[in-house]
Structure 1
Amino acid sequence: MTSPDTTKTPKAPSLLSFNELPKWLQDNHYILGSYRGPSYSLRKSIQSIFALHTESVNIHTHMWGAAAILLGAFSVYQSISTRYATFTWRDTIAFSVWFFCAFLCLGMSATYHAVCNHSPEVNAITQKFDHLGIVIMTCGSFLSMIYYGWYCEPMLAYAFSAMITGLSVGCAVFSANPRTRTPAWRPYRAALFACLGLSALVPITWGLRSHGIEGMNLRITLFTWLSLEFACYLLGATLYATRIPERLSPGTFDVFGSSHQIFHVLILLAAGFHLKGLLTTFDWNHQRGAC
């Protein structure tokens, strides 16, 4: 008689349909299946990172994106710190602010999507940080570009930076309210984030009146990299709010291609465009000499 095989084979996590989820995990009713159920275990949630489910793309886009940002920060610093004799600690701060904010945004996003199925309490806490990360990255992007866009006009740079920071704090407070984190508030959250992005029109309009179209394009790559960055954020926010494409074909985009996943990819593209624009305006300011 052969003895029974006692070797335990790891099982893939059971996936649930939308209707099988508890209310605290129900967010997008156009995504019909492939959901992780509540784990009530940090270990189980982490182990499911490499399984295939509704959060897989969301986790990996921003997890590896955060790692790329961290590595990119060291690479960029080594490149720019020896490029010009006029390089100062202020340049280090300007780039560090953006890299730090981008890393926080992507890192907090990946963390939320990895453990959001843990429990209602962990879901609520990490969702706050996920929304806060969007605000932080938007603010960091503005601050770094404002520094170089108004490199020779520090008082204006301080004023615009204070405005953007104040608006960002307001958005953060709004996003932290438990009431506004519900699915019903999704369009309003998206609209608020879009308005925060559109607040860039204030310094841009000021700059266009002062320096003209060509001058602003040189200062902040307005019609090249910055425009591409804005387009990514605007498209992402629109898809996120309208839940396109999944609302057009419920169940088709459960694992790949949902609006939230597209938004994640667009955020990475926007980050790449911003960094390219930042490096371009950094070079322009240091090459033109004294103010």
Structure 2
Amino acid sequence: MLSLKLPQLLQVHQVPQVFWEDGIMSGYRRPTSSALDCVLSSFQMTNETVNIWTHFLPTWYFLWRLLALAGGPGFRAEAYHWPLLIFLLPACLYPFASCCAHTFSSMSPRARHICYFLDYGALSLYSLGGAPAACCAFAYAAYSMPASWLNGRLHQLFVPTAALNSLLCTGLSCYSRFPELESPGLSKALRTAAFAYPFLFDNLPLFYRLNLCWGQGHDCGQEALSASHCYHLLCALLTGFLFTSHLPERLAPGHFDYIGHSHQLFHICAVLGTHFQLEAVLADMGSRRTWLATQDPALGLVGTVAALGVAVAGNLLIIATFTASLLRAPASCPLLQGGPPEGGTRAKQQ
């Protein structure tokens, strides 16, 4: 009978510093794991297992939502629905990319960095179509713009600017991996800014509508936000807090190695935020459809395809450039240190 032996787990002082996580002291996989070892490790309790499954399962949920909506009568035939499809495609891609990154990141130091380069690229595209940087911009430009912004300069430049922001997001986040051992504070600041700025830009229409409704204190017509918009923004704030604070494991190192550390909570909040964002977009689509039908779209089909094409091609080029730089780096490069760290057991940020 075929028997498979689960990979051995290590303590923090037994793996290279490049694999350390802040406040995580045990449950590390072997830093030279094979692809099969990485897959098998997703079925044993390591410090990455919950990270893997909290994005693998949502991938199937968002794929189901995509197929259910796209399969509706006349859905694909109406141009009004296309921005929603552009939103949903990256919403399926980014949790799958993150799942793969966490699964295969223990194959080698180089593999770890490349895995996260791809993860950052997928997340950047989602923000273009969905939440932190660019595809969310397509949906917001189509369904969620304030009335006073429609067909104005900002509305016309909203998607192209978001596409450029996605390139900035990918470039900064990929670069942030290079100084993370020598300057962890700088690395963290760059990575946080890479996703915070596109998020703030993409949600300008929501902030403006929220301010209008808050100031009026009564029914604000087409500017009204659904409860899902508020839940999405709350989840986004929690996601940012968890990413930067590394709580609760920073307060009790070693006590949340397997369940309950910040990156797991970060994943859960991110997925919930995407779910609420989808519900909010659907709410705007339904409640504002008659009104939006009287308005001219900011981008036609050609402009939409062009912006998306630039974002996809640009992100792939950036990832390829950083990957090539990493592959050319000598084995002695601190970023690719292969041996266990000498002294100290402080874990670093991801």
TM-score normalised by the shorter chain: which range applies? 0.7 to 0.9
Query: Normalising by the residue count of structure 2, what TM-score does the alignment of the two structures yield?
Result: 0.71
Task: Give 3-state SS (helix, strand or coil) of 1:64's partner.
Answer: helix
Report the CA distance shift for 1:217/1:73 in structure 2 as closer, same or farther (over 3 A): farther
Report the Cα distance in structure 2 between the residues aligned to 1:280 and 1:198, rounded to whole angstroms.
21
CA displacement at 1:102 relative to structure 2: 1.0
Report the CA distance shift for 1:210/1:88 in structure 2 as closer, same or farther (over 3 A): farther
Task: Give 3-state SS (helix, strand or coil) of 1:58's partner.
Answer: helix
Matches within 5 A, 1:103-252: 103-141=92-130, 142-143=136-137, 144-150=139-145, 153-154=150-151, 156-177=154-175, 178-179=177-178, 183-184=184-185, 185-200=187-202, 202-204=204-206, 218-219=222-223, 222=225, 224-252=227-255
Deviations 1:144-183 (A, max 9, x none): 1221123983455332222222222211111121425655
Identity %: 24
Contact 1:160 1:203 in 2 (8 A): no
Query: Normalising by the residue count of structure 1, what TM-score does the alignment of the two structures yield?
Result: 0.85
Contact 1:217 1:223 in 2 (8 A): no
- More displaced stretch, 175-184 vs 46-55: 175-184
Contact 2:144 2:206 in 1 (8 A): no
Task: Give 3-state SS (helix, strand or coil) of 1:50's partner.
Answer: coil
Report the Cα distance in structure 2 between the residues aligned to 1:271 and 1:193, rounded to whole angstroms.
15
Could you say which residue in structure 1 is the equivalent of 2:45?
52
CA displacement at 1:14 relative to structure 2: 0.9
Deviations 1:242-262 (A, max 9, x none): 101101111111011110000
| Aligned pairs, number | 279
- More displaced stretch, 71-80 vs 11-20: 71-80
Could you say which residue in structure 1 is the equivalent of 2:269?
266
CA displacement at 1:228 relative to structure 2: 1.5
Could you say which residue in structure 2 is the equivalent of 1:4?
none
Contact 1:15 1:53 in 2 (8 A): yes
Q: 2:17 is aligned with what amino acid?
A: K
CA displacement at 1:199 relative to structure 2: 1.8
- Aligned alpha-carbon RMSD (Å): 2.8
Report the CA distance shift for 1:215/1:179 in structure 2 as closer, same or farther (over 3 A): farther
Report the Cα distance in structure 2 between the residues aligned to 1:111 and 1:149, rounded to whole angstroms.
32
Contact 2:6 2:40 in 1 (8 A): no
Q: 2:196 is aligned with what amino acid?
A: A
Q: 1:236 is aligned with what amino acid?
A: T
The correspondence for 1:282, drawn from 281, 285, 297, is 285
Deviations 1:200-229 (A, max 9, x none): 45434655788986787745x636222211
